[in-house]
Chains A and B, each alone.
Chain A
Amino acid sequence: MNLLLPVLLLPLVGFLAAIAIPRRFPQNSRLWALVVSLATFVQSLILLGSFNRSLGGNQFTFDLPWIASPEIHFHIAADGVSLWLVLLSTFLTPICVLISWRSIQNRAKEFYAFLLLLEVGLIGVFIAQDLFLFYVFWEVSLVPMYFLIGVWGHERRIYAAVKFFLYTFAGSVLMLAAIIYLYNRAGTFSYPGILDMLASGRLSFTPPEQMVLFLAFFFAFAIKVPLFPLHTWLPDAHVEAPTAGSVMLASVMLKMGTFGILHYCLPMFPSASRQCAPWIAVLAIIGIIYGALVAMVQPNMKKLVAYSSVSHLGFVVLGIFSFTQMGLDGAVYQMLNHGISTGALFALVGLMYERRHSLEIKDYGGVATAAPWLATAFLVTTLASIGLPLLNNFVGEFLVLQGTALANYTWTVYAALGVILSACYMLWLYQRVFYGEAGQEVRSHVFDFSFREWAAVVPLIVMMVWMGVYSKSFLDPVGKVTAHVLEQTQINVPFRVELRRPTIVEVSRAR
């Protein structure tokens, strides 16, 4: 019995059943979504338990022919990186169900159905081993998110939803062209098959060919990450989405982009990746600093967190394009960290919005006295987000910076500015929202956690501490995969060798 398949099928069946629940029983929809998402999470824990950590490659492979010609397979498997991303998705979905319990009253049935469908799409993206199947999941995850933002969002939700859909769709059509091109060249959609062909030299691309294909894939991923300057859809989507939508978007959906870069761009197009690395690293650093600076001046809490995402994701991209073991490890770890801590930030901001019905920072102040536990949870999350040692982000950021330092020290210097700036905007936010005199509105409306909210927030806090203190339990399987990716990027890399030597000669001559 394949253990991975139920992780994908449970939410799918849950989604189909959720459609059948009559509209007049919204409570049933909520309970059903909670049960299904918890069952999926449990199943993914079983998956984790039986994952063999000493192996580097794919596990739990399930391969079923789907369409005969062109040959397309329903082929799924998980490796040490996708496993964690699947767990991140299954871990956050029940939390999203819990935090939406009271805030989603209108059309609850459809909301929870879409949430489950979103989970299917997200999990599918991480485990698909067939390029066609990957594209299917990639696009399918777009639809529920579009509806989540557009139907249950805030005032400018329609604009944000359409912008989100069009940006991602436009990016991914070029990826589709590249996928078809790959198929015509390789004769298969099977991703492991293509990698084998590349490794054995049966399939190779000319440099310009590789560059165009790389850019087609990278463009789709970069929009999703989002990499500066393709990030403009993100603040709109985040701010307008309902809380659960923001959490899923920030925590999991953005990782589709970084995962794609790591999983597809680097192994398939190593030379082009390395050739573009300096440019992409510069964009990532601009994103880190720009995101942080813009976050600092936001009057809106959600927008602030959204821009902080641009900054954090810059670290991930930088780590990937450092082409060092530590950088890649850190990038993957940072994907997970960002999922936990930014997810928690969006959840907490959402809980405050539920109470005070405002996202403006100026409407708050003194929340710490009105709701001390809420303030405590927010503080821990803030500290995690700015990279305090013993909490999760510190490990990831440290690894990324160290890995980058090995590749290019100047990059590290500029990127480290982002860490400092993140402390500035987050602590300043905390000060303005939680300290000071509590206003009338805050005192009468902002109360502390209910039991249900505790249940949603505590697991997130626990994860922040665990991932900060005992990162080894996570990084072991990741390291095996990233080491393999690095190995793959050594295949046919004429550019780097040629570029390095003249530079060294130049320097010595100048002396």
Chain B
Amino acid sequence: MPASPLFNAADLIRFLPEIILTVAGTLLMVFGALSERHGSKVFGHASLVALAAAMAASVYAFTEAGPAFGGMLMVDGFATFFRVLVMGAGILIVLPSYSFLARQKAETAEYHALLLFSIAGQSIMAAANDLIIIFIGLEISSIASYVLAGYFRDDKRANEAALKYFLLGSFATAFFLYGVALIYGAAGSTNLTTVRAVFSGQSAPSAVFIGVAAALMFVGLGFKVSAAPFQMWAPDVYQGAPTPVSAFLSAGPKAAAFAIFLRIFMTALEPIGPAWEPLVWAAALASMTIGNFAALLQTNMKRMLAYSSIAHAGYVLVALTARSETGTAAAMFYLAAYAFMNIGAFAVVSHLSGRDEKYQGIADFAGLAEKQPFTAAMLSIFLLSLIGVPLTGGFFGKFYIFKAALESHLVWLTVLGLLNSAVAAYYYLRILVMMYMREPGEATVEAAPLSTGLGAALVLPALGTLYLGIFPGWVLDFAGRASGLVR
């Protein structure tokens, strides 16, 4: 590898977002320990500022696009798209966290610091172009997420969630690492560009060998994106974790994991595409089907959203199965739309759940439209988007994914996927029924009025969802151009 220990200014600019996030996180830790100001909003403000700065830095870094640190990072459109996505998701998570943490009297600096660290890890994943860097990013992101999931250390469910997430997550990372080791053994490098060159060259190692490596990595990444058959952890973790953290898990780490999924499978492993396509095909169908049918049976809102997130991972895998630039662009667009709509939906759950998250049941949404018509209207937008009704980002994303799939002649996967989305309509409709067609219950009567932070946490994703649904052109265009760089 031609990496030199020296680095230049351009490298630093390309790495600036991660630097900002890590420094801000560390400072938050220090000040949190020093200051006596418990229960203050200042930590939240600080992390909002850090995230906004990192987002600006990501955009700035894109003006200096190119490889950094001897090709370990690749700051291209693809990386920038996912960097902005995970940071935007971070902002949308901090906003509802204000009132959530205040309600639980748990406003600490470490919550925000962990969030920033996790996002820093995801940002690295988005830009990584080397299997080792990918692994480091994955670990930074995951370890912070494990701690966040168990943030309420006195809560039994949160403990269960954290432990489960940690144990299964470690296994998955180990699988991933085995895959990395095999690739290194086969190609003599961990750099994705080099690996791709070796695999597509004359002296490519045996396909079986690479196939096993691909399968091992698929297991690790499949766990991270909660694709079937590695989805088992998701419902328990989403249910047990604090609601804003569940929202975070379903958006940030998932998007970043898909980013490396796409980057590895569309660059280094692209030469053996026909070999892994059936694998992803099956995982996509299984995720959609298991996710949607299991979600039909849920009575807990967070569990239902967990299963729905499994199903949505399946839709993104459909885009990966297409193995085309359109497919990559579709996956990127869908993940952005999904981040908006899912974080929005979780924000409403967080708002309504009350102290100690008493009210998580679907039945607790009864009569929300009567008591808080605005909140109900916002949630309706998110749900309609999750169903895939036109003029929402969810619809356009789905449309674009299945367009890519049909272009690649995946007719059966398209038909089964679309039928799946009809099944999914049922469980989202149940919530609409609760909100609009039932008399108010205890939870909605007791619900506090919307705070400013929560209001913003609902309006911003709603605007994002509608924007992506009505004027998808700009994002689509960017994703389209960025997808070309992956190869």
Chain A interfacial positions (CB closer than 8 Å to B): 23, 66-70, 132, 135-136, 139-140, 142-143, 146-147, 150-151, 157-158, 161-162, 165-166, 169-170, 173-174, 176-177, 180-181, 183-184
- Cβ 8 A contact of A147, one of B400, B436, B472: B436
Interface residue B211 (Cβ < 8 Å from any Cβ of A): no
Within 8 A of A (CB), among B372-399: 373, 384, 387, 389-391, 395, 399
The CA-CA distance from A147 to B419 in the complex, in Å, is 23
Q: Count contacts between A and B, CB distance < 8 Å.
A: 84
CB distance from A98 to the nearest CB of B (A): 25
The CA-CA distance from A319 to B426 in the complex, in Å, is 35
The CA-CA distance from A177 to B403 in the complex, in Å, is 8
- Chain A CB within 10 Å, residue with most, of B387, B422, B476: B422
* Chain B residues within an 8 Å CB radius of A142: 389
CB distance from A103 to the nearest CB of B (A): 18
For the complex, would chain B's binding face be called helix, strand, loop or mixed by DSSP majority?
helix
- Cβ 8 A contact of B429, one of A69, A132, A136, A165: A165
Interface residue B143 (Cβ < 8 Å from any Cβ of A): no
The CA-CA distance from A170 to B426 in the complex, in Å, is 10
The CA-CA distance from A169 to B421 in the complex, in Å, is 9
- A143 contacts B389, C-beta separation under 8 Å: yes
- Cβ 8 A contact of B436, one of A68, A70, A150, A166: A150
Residue in B closest to A132 when the chains form the complex, CB atoms: B399
- Cβ 8 A contact of A170, one of B399, B422, B433: B422
* 6 A-B residue pairs with CB within 8 Å: A68-B473, A68-B477, A69-B480, A136-B391, A143-B389, A162-B433
* Chain B residues within an 8 Å CB radius of A165: 425, 429
- B402 contacts A150, C-beta separation under 8 Å: no
Residue in B closest to A138 when the chains form the complex, CB atoms: B390
The CA-CA distance from A70 to B411 in the complex, in Å, is 19
The CA-CA distance from A180 to B387 in the complex, in Å, is 18
* Chain B residues within an 8 Å CB radius of A166: 422, 425-426, 429
B interface, size bucket: 20 to 34
Residue in B closest to A23 when the chains form the complex, CB atoms: B373
* Chain B residues within an 8 Å CB radius of A139: 389-390, 395
CB distance from B2 to the nearest CB of A (A): 37
The CA-CA distance from A135 to B390 in the complex, in Å, is 8
CB distance from A69 to the nearest CB of B (A): 7
- Cβ 8 A contact of B437, one of A143, A151, A177: A151
Could you give, for residues 411-428 of chain B, a 1 whenever the CB lies within 8 Å of some chain A CB and a 0 otherwise? 100110011011001100
The CA-CA distance from A176 to B402 in the complex, in Å, is 9
* Chain B residues within an 8 Å CB radius of A157: 437
The CA-CA distance from A151 to B425 in the complex, in Å, is 18
Contacts A150-B433, A151-B436; A169 near B406 (Cβ below 8 A): no
- A67 contacts B473, C-beta separation under 8 Å: yes
- A180 contacts B402, C-beta separation under 8 Å: yes
- B437 contacts A70, C-beta separation under 8 Å: no
The CA-CA distance from A176 to B429 in the complex, in Å, is 20
The CA-CA distance from A158 to B432 in the complex, in Å, is 10
- Cβ 8 A contact of A158, one of B391, B400, B437, B480: B437
The CA-CA distance from A68 to B373 in the complex, in Å, is 36
Interface residue B407 (Cβ < 8 Å from any Cβ of A): yes
* Chain A residues within an 8 Å CB radius of B419: 170, 173-174
The CA-CA distance from A140 to B429 in the complex, in Å, is 15
* Chain B residues within an 8 Å CB radius of A169: 387, 422, 425
* Chain A residues within an 8 Å CB radius of B389: 139-140, 142-143
- Cβ 8 A contact of B390, one of A23, A140, A147: A140
* Chain B residues within an 8 Å CB radius of A151: 436-437
The CA-CA distance from A184 to B406 in the complex, in Å, is 8
* Chain A residues within an 8 Å CB radius of B395: 139
Within 8 A of A (CB), among B174-189: none
- Cβ 8 A contact of B418, one of A66, A158, A161, A176: A176
* Chain A residues within an 8 Å CB radius of B473: 66-69
Residue in B closest to A137 when the chains form the complex, CB atoms: B390
| Other 4 A-B pairs with CB < 8 A, given A146-B429, A173-B422 | A67-B471, A147-B436, A170-B419, A184-B403
- Cβ 8 A contact of B403, one of A158, A161, A162, A183: A183
- B403 contacts A140, C-beta separation under 8 Å: no
- B406 contacts A181, C-beta separation under 8 Å: yes
Closest 8 CB pairs of A and B: A136-B390, A173-B418, A170-B422, A139-B390, A180-B403, A150-B437, A67-B473, A169-B425
The CA-CA distance from A279 to B418 in the complex, in Å, is 27
* Chain A residues within an 8 Å CB radius of B430: 162
Residue in A closest to B405 when the chains form the complex, CB atoms: A180
The CA-CA distance from A161 to B402 in the complex, in Å, is 28
* Chain B residues within an 8 Å CB radius of A184: 403, 406-407
CB distance from A162 to the nearest CB of B (A): 5
* Chain B residues within an 8 Å CB radius of A183: 403
Residue in B closest to A70 when the chains form the complex, CB atoms: B403
* Chain A residues within an 8 Å CB radius of B432: 146, 150
* Chain B residues within an 8 Å CB radius of A173: 418-419, 421-422
- Chain A CB within 10 Å, residue with most, of B407, B419, B437: B437
CB distance from A357 to the nearest CB of B (A): 20
- Cβ 8 A contact of A177, one of B414, B429, B477: B414
